[in-house]
Structure formats: structure tokens, C-alpha cells
Structure 1
Amino acid sequence: MNLFTIGFTKKKAKDFFETLVLSKVEKVFDVRLNNVSQLAGFSKKDDLKYFLKKIGNIDYEHLTIFAPTQEILDKYKKNKGEWSIYEKEYIDLLQERSNQIRSNSYDFDNSCFLCSEEKPHFCHRRLAAEFLKKEYSLDINIIHL
């Protein structure tokens, strides 16, 4: 199973959509808490859903079950918190949501977790993908685009 992750910051729309299409992504799971207030116009929920379908026949779903809470986000972003604390709080949150995640039985094969961060190193999309692989013992090949 291939599970991709991608961020849109510092990406031109052309590069962003071509990367998804060339990678044969079938569905984008938007794991941002807020998907309407980003700076990149093509990344707003309704626009993104339209462009994904029109350009690459890629489905879209806003999946907030993998989004951090506003409190966790604010402590890290606004208050310039430490990554290690953010990471622990976010993983704990996923543990709390584990039964809900499991009960929805999402199909993650050839799907992509989307967030705004340019790189996956300090982004919850990477943590979410790694959590799925470890928590559910899934044979997931995680690919960061």
C-alpha cells in the first residue's frame, strides 16, 4: 500500500498537481484543521477539490480526524513551542482517536495526506502516516512528495 504525503507551501500549482498526477494519487485526504484560510488560493477546500478532480481525476476529503486540535497547534506555532512536545501531544491525540479512526476503515492505498508545511520533517502529516503504519501494523510504503 502506498500512502503519500504532500505540503503545498512554496509550490506552484502546476508543480503541485503534476506531482500528484505523476505519482498516481487517487485520493487526497486534507488533514489540516483549517482548509479555507491558507494563502495559496489553489489550496482552499472548494478550489482544491475542483482542481484535483478536473486536473487529475483525484478525489478529495477533508479528514479532520488526523488534524491537530487548535490548542496543540497554537502552543506549537503561535507560542513557538518545541517540536518534541507537539509531536507527543499529537500522537497522544491520535491514540485517543484510534477507535474512531479504526471504525471508519478508510482506504489509504494510493492516497495522499495533505498539509501546508513544505517538508514532512516537522509536520503532522508525517506523524499521521507513521502512526497508521505502526498502530495498525499496516504494510504501508510512506512516500513524501
Structure 2
Amino acid sequence: MKRENNAVPVASIGFTGKTAEEFFDLLKNAQVRTVLDIRLSNTSQLAGFAKKQDLPFFLDKLCGAVYREMPELAPEPDLFKRYKANELTWDEFSAAYVELIARRRVESNLDVDLFRSACLLCSEHLPHHCHRRLALEYLNSRWNSRLKITHLS
């Protein structure tokens, strides 16, 4: 019972396949206070309403949330490029990504409280084949299952 009281609620979301209304309603309804952007490319036209330069404004006005970039949880460009070009399977990408964040020692360099009422943001619609799920699972395994993870869809 005590472990549940100490649980740190954290979510993940992808913007692809969602309207701006759906995206911001999901964040607001989940009471997200901080959006942690773990994307490699957050300024491209493909980011639409979730562009780095616009997102802090929308989050503040629509959700009362703040924006923070978190590049330490982004994959390296070459790794992501190889996966998107089908040079790596999902399992190979996953293993390489987890190895990367382990080398970065993210569990030691990030404070678990930063994740409280936060939401990891990426572009993938669903978390199944997205590094945001891998990052949260990795951190949870290192932080003794302190994260209570919800994937917003």
C-alpha cells in the first residue's frame, strides 16, 4: 500500500493521428503539468501544432502545463534513421536504444520527481513501437517501479 502512495504518475503521448483538440484534451484530462519532449525533430513542419516553438504557448494557455525538452531520452539520429529505413528491426532498435540511454546513465542524471504529473511526448501515435515507452520502462526498472505509467491515446 505504501508503494502506491509513493508512486509517481507519468504519462506518454504521441501527436500523430490526433487533432489539436484531442491532443490537448488528453493532456488536460490527465492533469499533466509538464510535457517532456523526447523527440529528435521537434521543429519540422510535420510536427504541426506540436512544434517546439508553439507548444509552450499552447500548453500554458490550454492545459496550464509547462514544456521542457529532454534530449537525453531522444535516440541518436543515426539509430532512428536506420530504424525508419528498415535497416533495423523493432527489436534491434529497442535493444540499441536501451543500451544508449543506459550509457547515458539517465536514471542517475534525472530526478524521478521531474516525472511527477509529466507526460513524455513523441510523434508516434501509439506507444507500442515508440521509444517513449522504452524510456519509461527502462527508468521504471531502475527506479524500483516508482513510476505509475499511463499511455494516453
Please give the TM-score of this superposition, normalised by the length of structure 1: 0.94
Letter in 1 for 2:108: R
Residue 81 of structure 2 corresponds to residue 74 of structure 1? yes
Q: How does 1:16-95 map to 2 (within 5 A)?
A: 16-95=23-102
Provide the aligned C-alpha RMSD in A: 1.3
Give the match for residue 102 of structure 1.
Answer: 108
Give the match for residue 6 of structure 1.
Answer: 13
Give the fraction of aligned pairs with identical amino acids, expressed as a percent.
40
Q: Secondary structure at the match of 2:85?
A: coil
Letter in 2 for 1:127: L
**C-alpha distance in 2, partners of 1:38/1:61?**
20
Letter in 1 for 2:102: Q
**C-alpha distance in 1, partners of 2:110/2:89?**
32
Count of residue pairs brought into register by the alignment: 144
Further displaced range: 61-70 or 78-87: 78-87
Q: Secondary structure at the match of 2:80?
A: helix
Aligned partners of 1:26 and 1:110 also within 8 Å: yes
**C-alpha distance in 1, partners of 2:16/2:22?**
11
Residue 134 of structure 2 corresponds to residue 123 of structure 1? no
**C-alpha distance in 2, partners of 1:46/1:140?**
29
**C-alpha distance in 2, partners of 1:81/1:103?**
28
**C-alpha distance in 2, partners of 1:38/1:140?**
33
Residue 144 of structure 2 corresponds to residue 113 of structure 1? no
Q: CA deviation at 1:78?
A: 2.2
**C-alpha distance in 2, partners of 1:58/1:140?**
19
Please give the TM-score of this superposition, normalised by the length of structure 2: 0.89
CA deviation string 1:75-109 (max 9, x = no partner): 100245200000000000010011x5523425101
Letter in 2 for 1:134: S
Q: Secondary structure at the match of 1:33?
A: coil
Q: CA deviation at 1:54?
A: 0.9
Structure 1 gaps, min length 5:
none
